[in-house]
Chains A and B, each alone.
Chain A
Amino acid sequence: MYDYYLTIVLAPLAAAIIAGLAGKKIGRAGAHWVTILGVGTSCVLSLLVLRNMFWGGAEPENISVYTWAVTDGLRMEVGFLVDRLTALMMCVVTFVSFMVHIYTIGYMHEDPGYQRFFSYISLFTFSMLMLVMSNNFLQLFFGWEAVGLVSYLLIGFWFKRETAIFANLKAFLVNRVGDFGFILGIAGVVMFTGSLDYAEVFASADRVAGQSIEVFAGTPWNAMTVICILLFIGAMGKSAQAPLHVWLPDSMEGPTPISALIHAATMVTAGIFMVARMSPLFELSATALAVVITIGAITAFFMGLLGIVQNDIKRVVAYSTLSQLGYMTVALGASAYSAAIFHLMTHAFFKALLFLAAGSVIIAMHHEQDIRKMGGLRKYMPITYWTALIGSLALIGFPGSSGFFSKDLLIEAVKESHWHGDGAIYWIAYLSVLLGVFVTALYSFRMFFLVFHGEERMDAHTKSHLHESPWVVTVPLIMLAIPSAIIGWFTVEPVLFGGYFGDAIVVRQGPDVLAKIAQEFWHGSLALVLHIHKSPAFWLAAGGTVTAWFLYLKRPDIPETIKNKLSAVYTLLENKYYFDDLWIKGFAGGGRAIGSFLWQKGDQLIIDDMLVNGTARTVGRLAGAIRQIQTGYLYTYAFAMIIGLTAFLGWLIWLR
């Protein structure tokens, strides 16, 4: 399989290089064909790898590709660890990427940067594959930063727009804050295990958990807790968990295909994947898991609320992504790693679908993104309408859809995960994911109704041009709608309960909640759907949808009244809890103020003016003073000589 793995990784890279460097020579069609061929190859081979793992019973493989460097007893390598977790991620990444490549032909067909765009998204696919297929922390960090780089390049793709180049800088820097923790976590891993290799690190995990580190003198902390929290800070950056989430909504400045691929389906789930991959470490620190679950819960609920007040179609979906990433994080914190990964997979399909559908709407609306200026698009864009409906239903967890299986069982798992105790953390986590369902349904269908139903609020010119998007756009929508609708039915059992992941995921903290669910409740997919009326999540989702219908279709006057009544809350939400101000005015502004102070007062005033030039001036002044003695008159010198001789003789005679 080694050749497969190498091809899977290198095909998109080669395509990216060709499209990037020879873009002019091969032309627009050449660029999309070469990149589609590259990622298509990867996709097919990834599916073959998955098949071999799943049906062929292939064993996980751990292969070194080349030695990056060896020094001081530390081996730094590039290599692949392909087990079932990896295989699943490879398929998700390459499949969504494949769809997005096709979609891009339609979405970007007028853009002068066509070749560049294809080059970037192929480069992204390469980076993401390096990340998920890595067998060591070094390469993980490489992939981690490389996807960050491509994300930076793509958010700022339209580099003439001030908002875009602000957003990409912001995204990169906020991610760097996460990476700051991440690299320290990796350093901690090396300190305690002496290795960067996953297998070696996991093998010595128990030993590490018994050690402590004094970050503050006199207070020893468990080494594993420190390592895991530091690693999780990295995940918070990449997977946009509060308070490092601020970059994700702004990243919508990038073209829509990459919002689907990078900022919904794949890159932002890297943090979730990473924590799942590190489950042998996280399982050894209850404290770290408690941090994970709390951060996830806060993100899941509060970011969902923001989705309700957004009016930009892409931003609504972006806040939804934040909230869903919070769900996955909560599952990680509950040690239900499989549930997190399962939700990651279904989410990748339906969220990519929703973004691409939003993109289809945006094309039809001539790049108008405000949902208040849309409405009634259903009859103009039937394919977009139906696929968006499937995506929205999957998102809210409509019974039978892919999102239903992943979210319902995720919530169930959190409900059963009592090992954090029955205290505040448990209730925060459980209530967040449960009430989040209502919020999800509310913002999803608010958007859906405002866009596709009701009054047609666009101007006459736009209205006259409304039509369904071309096939390169609609085919990917359909191709993504199919798994969004049905993939849950036949994957839920093996992935969650069938021990699909094998040794890739380790659960040791308290009882395995998924095993417990499997024993006590699980009677197959159909039974779950049939017993839906017992699930509070179902009623909350239904309630949210009906509320959305009532508020935005039936009585569109009410939201305005609510807004006025609850203006304080509305202002808070409108300003996104003021997190942006904290980052932009607080940290970025503070940093600039410190920089100015150190430069002007430290470097210029104290060091340069006072010390350096001060010394030069003092030397100059001293020389000037001494020069006064050199009068040029003979009597001055004679006088000085007499005094000098007297002093010298006096010292010789009396003092020696």
Chain B
Amino acid sequence: MDFSQHLLSILIWLPIVGGAALIAIGDDNDAMSPRAGLMRIVALLVAVATFLFSVGLYIGFDNATSGMQFIEKQPWVGSLNVFYSLGVDGISAPLILLTTFITPLVVIAGWNTITNRPAQYFAAFLILEGLMVGVFSALDALLFYVFWEAMLIPMFLIIGVWGGKRRVYATLKFFLYTFLGSVLMLVAFIYLYGQTGSFDLFGFMAAPLTLTAQKLIFIAFLLAFAVKVPMWPVHTWLPDAHVEAPTGGSVILAAIMLKMGGYGFVRLSLPIVPDGSEYFANMMIALSLIAVVYIGFVALMQKDMKKLIAYSSIAHMGFVTLGFFILWSVSGNAGAGLGMTGGMVQMISHGLISGAMFLCVGVLYDRMHSREIADYGGVANTMPVFAAFMVLFAMANAGLPGTSGFVGEFMVIIASFKANFWYAFLAATTLILGAAYTLWMVKRVVYGEVANDNVAELTDLNAREFIVLAILAGSVLLVGLWPAPLVDMMNATIDQLIQQVGQSKL
């Protein structure tokens, strides 16, 4: 059997089937029991196997092709002209790799810290992984929508079952916010189906649409994607969701689910409604810059580490949307393409860094059961290895060159200078604000005298935690020191996309 014919299906269904198998094995709240041990091994094997298959995706990926690769197409609902149609290009492939890379780390991070229904916990993450890969590879709008909405269910459960004290409020807020947005996307899909007679995304992209229709469709998409990114002012679900989510949930939420919004803009909004996107581009730029500056200030004053990182995520995602939507304000080299690439790289990088930051907080939370900055101080005295990782990831979060955090921000700032001096000016405030909120937190948590008896009793990273953080640290540095492999994957697709978006549908 030739795997490459069905590679994407394998990446989607292997973790989902694995998740189902875990539920079949059944739960055992005693972490030491043989069944719990078996269950963990199965979860890890599935996650690692999925990652290894995705390495095949990387190896087989042709950087020179701008179009879809690894295409699979089967009729699904024949009467409605719906297809089970999959494929990846330079935009989705890196995001799929990110997904399959982060999931095993989350499994390892949750290894024996989850004592309440661990099988279901791991199953939720594996199923979620499959669904997220599905979103990134679906080429049929209905299939896309099914994955998109189905994704909410495991995350809803992860927060609702394994979350903190206010988990019910947070998970409802999360669900309603995101669901409300995506229902309108479905309406837009149905309208486009009416216009083209199928749910094929390429059919949508080719469909001629009036400006009014484009504007309305853009707004429908915007609500779905802006909530996911999240963009100001529809961001307030994120800090609550993060604070209440268990560590693994926060990691997946920040590292991958937020990318759904950015992905939606590039995959759907820009090519399907180019004129509608152009019409709203200035508003999008404004919202992105508000995210960078306003949220940067808000992050500064957070007292809860997870909230701080959540706000920092919003500010960093502002660079993604900024990079995408300056497309119409620049011309020539080192402009639109640089902004778009920067936005894409920023998504990958943010996935690594925010994931790592949440894992760091998780390490502390597992020991102290507190996320309050004020409860810490002088952690470096008792956990020097942890402190080194924390400082590294903090620097990456502050966009230090040599880490992945720099790459996307640098590209977007340079491209936006070309668009308008003030765009770059406001975007570059992240150099100051990002460093201020991140390093001020580091100062209060990591440095200083041992603040209290609890800190004095902290033990440094165990081998399992060390491995997870070391893998992330290595990848943050690799992308920072040599982003070429990542950027090369995207170049052809992004060039083609910009050309496509540049052609008006009117």
Contact = CB atoms under 8 A, between A and B. Distances in A.
Say if A and B assemble together.
Answer: yes
Interface of A: 66-74, 138, 141-142, 144-146, 149, 152-153, 156, 159-160, 162, 165-166, 169, 172-173, 176-177, 179-180, 183-184, 186-188, 190-191, 194, 213-215, 588, 591-592, 594-596, 598-599, 602-603, 607-608, 611-612, 616
A588 B301 CA distance: 12
Interface in B310-353: 332-338, 341
B334 A74 contact: yes
B410 interface: yes
17 contacts: A69-B484, A69-B487, A72-B334, A72-B337, A72-B495, A145-B406, A149-B400, A156-B447, A159-B380, A160-B449, A165-B447, A176-B436, A187-B418, A191-B417, A194-B332, A588-B436, A611-B233
Interface in B387-422: 391, 395, 400-402, 406-407, 410-411, 413-414, 416-418, 421-422
A142 B449 CA distance: 32
B435 interface: yes
Given A160-B448, A176-B431, A603-B298, A612 B236 contact: yes
B301 A599 contact: yes
B439 A169 contact: yes
Contacts of A215: 421-422
A68 B378 contact: no
Contacts of A165: 443, 447-448
A142 B484 contact: no
A588 B298 CA distance: 14
Contacts of A162: 448-449
B291 to A, nearest CB: 12
Question: Chain B, interface size: which category?
Answer: 35 or more
Contacts of A599: 297-298, 301-302
Contacts of B421: 184, 213-215
Contact of A607 (B233, B300, B416): B233
B429 A180 contact: yes
Across the A-B interface, give the 6 residue pairs with the lowest CB-CB distance, nearest first. A72-B337, A73-B333, A187-B417, A595-B301, A595-B300, A595-B297
A595 B298 contact: yes
Nearest to A609: B236
A168 B102 CA distance: 33
Given A176-B435, A183-B410, A595-B297, A71 B401 contact: no
Contacts of B463: none
A166 B444 CA distance: 10
B117 interface: no
B440 interface: yes
Contacts of B301: 592, 595-596, 599
Contacts of A194: 332-334
Nearest to B435: A176
A69 B341 CA distance: 11
Contacts of A73: 332-334, 337
A246 to B, nearest CB: 14
Contact of A188 (B236, B417, B481): B417
A527 B448 CA distance: 57
B173 A612 contact: yes
A191 B330 CA distance: 10
Contacts of A594: 297
B425 interface: yes
A616 to B, nearest CB: 8
B32 interface: no
Contact of A179 (B237, B431, B495): B431
B294 interface: yes
A186 B414 contact: yes
A159 B448 contact: yes
A105 B300 CA distance: 40
Contact of B484 (A68, A187, A607): A68
Given A173-B436, A591-B297, A190 B233 contact: no
B483 interface: yes
Contacts of B428: 180, 183-184, 187
Contact of A142 (B332, B381, B402, B429): B402
Nearest to A166: B443
A172 B435 contact: yes
Q: Which of A138, A144, A179, A180 has the most CB of B within 10 A?
A: A180
Given A72-B341, A213-B421, 10 more contacts: A66-B482, A71-B411, A159-B448, A160-B447, A169-B440, A179-B431, A215-B421, A215-B422, A602-B298, A607-B236
A188 B443 CA distance: 34
A595 B391 CA distance: 23
B432 interface: yes
A503 to B, nearest CB: 27
A68 B424 contact: no
B417 to A, nearest CB: 3
A146 B402 contact: yes
B491 interface: yes
B401 A141 contact: yes
Contacts of A179: 431
A68 B487 CA distance: 10
Contact of A180 (B407, B422, B432): B432
Interface string B211-230: 00000000000000000000
Contact of A71 (B337, B440, B447): B337
A71 B416 CA distance: 15
Nearest to B401: A142
A603 B414 contact: no
A190 B236 contact: no
A214 B419 CA distance: 12
Contacts of B449: 160, 162
A594 B332 CA distance: 38
Contacts of A180: 428-429, 431-432
B39 to A, nearest CB: 35
A592 B300 contact: yes
Contacts of B431: 176, 179-180, 183
A160 B378 contact: yes
B297 to A, nearest CB: 4
Contacts of A173: 432, 435-436, 439
Q: Which of B406, B410, B447, B484 has the most CB of A within 10 A?
A: B447
A599 B304 CA distance: 13
Contacts of B435: 172-173, 176
Contacts of B294: 598, 602
Contacts of A145: 400-402, 406
A74 B484 CA distance: 12
Q: Which of B334, B400, B446 has the most CB of A within 10 A?
A: B334
A159 B413 CA distance: 33
Interface in B141-177: 173, 176-177
B122 to A, nearest CB: 32
A160 B336 CA distance: 47
Contacts of B494: 71-72
Contact of A187 (B407, B413, B422): B413
A177 B432 contact: yes
A149 B399 CA distance: 11
A142 B177 CA distance: 40
B333 A72 contact: yes
Nearest to A195: B334
Contacts of B391: 153
Contacts of A177: 432
Contacts of B236: 603, 607-608, 612
A71 B341 contact: yes
Contacts of A144: 401
Contacts of B432: 173, 176-177, 180
Contact of A184 (B300, B338, B417): B417
Given A156-B447, A176-B432, A184-B428, A69 B334 contact: no
B436 A591 contact: yes
Contacts of A69: 407, 483-484, 486-488
Contact of A169 (B406, B443, B488): B443
A119 to B, nearest CB: 11
A172 B439 CA distance: 9
Q: Which of A72, A173, A194 has the most CB of B within 10 A?
A: A72
